[in-house]
Amino acid sequence: MVTAEELTESYRHSDTSSIYDVFAEAAGNLQAAYVAAKRAATSVSEQELWLDRGIALQKFRRAVDPDDRAALINAIVMFGAERVQVRTLIEARATSTAA
């Protein structure tokens, strides 16, 4: 897992618009993980949970200042960590269902 400090150093020579592009892609990847989790949900309440998380992500994404490099980088790290957790949950569920 990459840290905000590592990304800050990595993007040191990048313009903010490039960092925003990475931010948008990371948010899209997390949104896709939420959709996959919703599809894998075993109850309506769980489906609603993943839908709500997707909506919260959209609101958060709109709230981040596109000119704030630190906020963008911190969000990229957060999105990546969350995506890994969601994908791990989906894979664990698939494994337990198949067993």
User: Does 22 map to a domain?
Assistant: no
pLDDT block averages, 10 residues each, the chain of length 99: 88 95 98 97 96 98 97 97 96 80
Q: Show the domain range for 38.
A: 30-94
Has residue 23 been placed in a domain? no
72 lies in a domain?
Answer: yes
Examine residue 42 and state whether it is found in any structural domain, yes or no: yes
Report yes or no on 24 lying in a domain: no
Per the structure, the count of domains in the chain is 1
Residue 15, in any domain of the structure: no
Inside any domain, residue 7: no
pLDDT at 47: 97
Which pLDDT does position 95 carry in this prediction?
83
Residue 99: predicted pLDDT: 62
Q: 6-14 long-range contacts, Cβ below 8 Å, gap at least 24?
A: 7/73, 7/76, 7/77, 8/69, 8/70, 8/73, 11/69, 11/73
Q: Using a cut of 0.85, tell me whether the model's pTM lies above it.
A: yes
Confidence (pLDDT) at 7: 86
Residue 99 lies inside a defined structural domain of this protein: no
pLDDT of residue 3: 87
